[in-house]
Amino acid sequence: MMAAPDSRAAARERGGATDIAGAVVLGVCAVWSLVSAAGREARPEGVLLAVSAVAAGYACGRISGTLLPVTSATALSLAALGLALVSPEGVPGANAGAPVQPGHTGAAAALLVLSAGAACCAASAARPPALRLALRLLALATVVTALAVGSVAGFAACAGVLLCSVAAARMRRRTAGLTGLAAVTALAVAIAWGVAENALPSGLRQSLVGQLTPNRVALWQDALALAEDDPVRGVGPSRFGKLSATALQSAGSDGKPHSALFQQAAEQGLVGAVLLATAFGWMLFALWRSPRSTPVVLSAGAALTALAVLANLGNALSFAPVTAGAGLLAGLATARGAGGGASGPAGRTPPETAGLPAR
């Protein structure tokens, strides 16, 4: 008679430990940005804003996901889609005073990915078949929108999220899926490093450089060179644009290397790069421990992975709405049900509510 309450108590303890781990990781990220900036003309405000946006979004996602999981995910999808469409001059958080908005394309693609991921999470959690179909069509609309606005990266990422979500509907265990998503992220990082270090076969590298543009690759090379100069603390937050020869010579440059990982390595050293990877790993771990159904978890994981790939190749994480949206999506996908459990897409109580989630 006491087995079920004991299992629920154990699940709450595991969820609390995951939240504590996330708070520690985000807290260390904030502290390290201050350490990297100490004694220099650096500006850690951008990093602190990003960390705060993720934390606030995650907390809001946990609360709203507990009370109204489908409605909250749908609202996030529509908000991200609308923000990507109605902000031709750049999303909030962009450098509005610059003559051009070089990061807007990456931000718009990231917002479309968040929209597709949230719609897929809502569809996976919805019970009525008609509602699930409508939400799948909303996710499909983001794919079409990405193609319509000319975002090739956004189209590929949104399509991948939708396909992963459809496939996840037939999966019972999440370990293999999340492991695969982590491998995709690692592969994207390895390819970017190989391009910057000229470590790939010449034919493949030339093809990738043509897609990424020589200017972006030169920025990556500058970032790696700066990281080698001070591998522990880096050159300091927001100082890349002042020390990169490529950034100084580029018209309308936003002073960023167009890669979150390389920016962390250059401005906050290897410690900063490891912390960024740890933050992403924590999100995947939180999804693995989530009481939500496996389709919801894998849909959110696919969206966060696509966002990580875009951030590795561009400036997606330089925009507060993107970082807040990522935290909100992670919070929605890890929220416990109002009754202490979660309901599956057909209204059945999944195995997760009886203890450890299905792996």
- Structural domain boundaries of the chain? 12-93+100-339
Predicted confidence band of residue 4 (pLDDT cuts 50, 70, 90): very low
- H helices of the chain, in order, are 3-37, 45-67, 69-85, 104-125, 129-148, 152-168, 175-196, 202-212, 214-229, 240-243, 245-249, 260-288, 294-313, 320-334
Distance CA 87, CA 320 (A): 14
Distance CA 121, CA 301 (A): 10
pTM exceeding the 0.85 threshold for the entire prediction: yes
Residue 216: closest CA among 256, 156, 261, 268: 256
238-279 residue pLDDT tens = 999 899 999 888 776 778 899 999 999 999 999 999 999 999
* Amino acid identity, position 272: G
Q: Mean of the per-residue pLDDT values for the chain?
A: 86
* Amino acid identity, position 238: S
List Cβ neighbours of 181 (8 Å cut-off, separation of 6 or more). Answer: 284, 298, 301, 302, 304, 305
Taking each helix axis from N to C end, the angle separating 294-313 and 260-288, rounded to the nearest 10 degrees, works out to 170
- What SS3 string covers 77-95? HHHHHHHHHCCCCCCCCCC
Q: What is the largest CA-CA distance in the chain?
A: 71
Dihedral, CA of residue 195, residue 201, residue 204 and residue 205, to nearest 10: 30
343 has pLDDT over 90: no
59-84 residue pLDDT tens = 999 999 999 999 999 999 999 999 98
20-61 residue pLDDT tens = 999 999 999 999 999 999 988 889 999 999 999 999 999 999
Distance CA 173, CA 327 (A): 23
Give mean pLDDT, residues 190-199: 93
Which residue did the predictor score with more confidence, 87 or 5? Answer: 87
Distance CA 121, CA 99 (A): 38
Measured over the CA atoms of residue 321, residue 322, residue 323 and residue 328, the dihedral's sign is positive
List Cβ neighbours of 325 (8 Å cut-off, separation of 6 or more). Answer: 57, 76, 80, 110, 111, 114
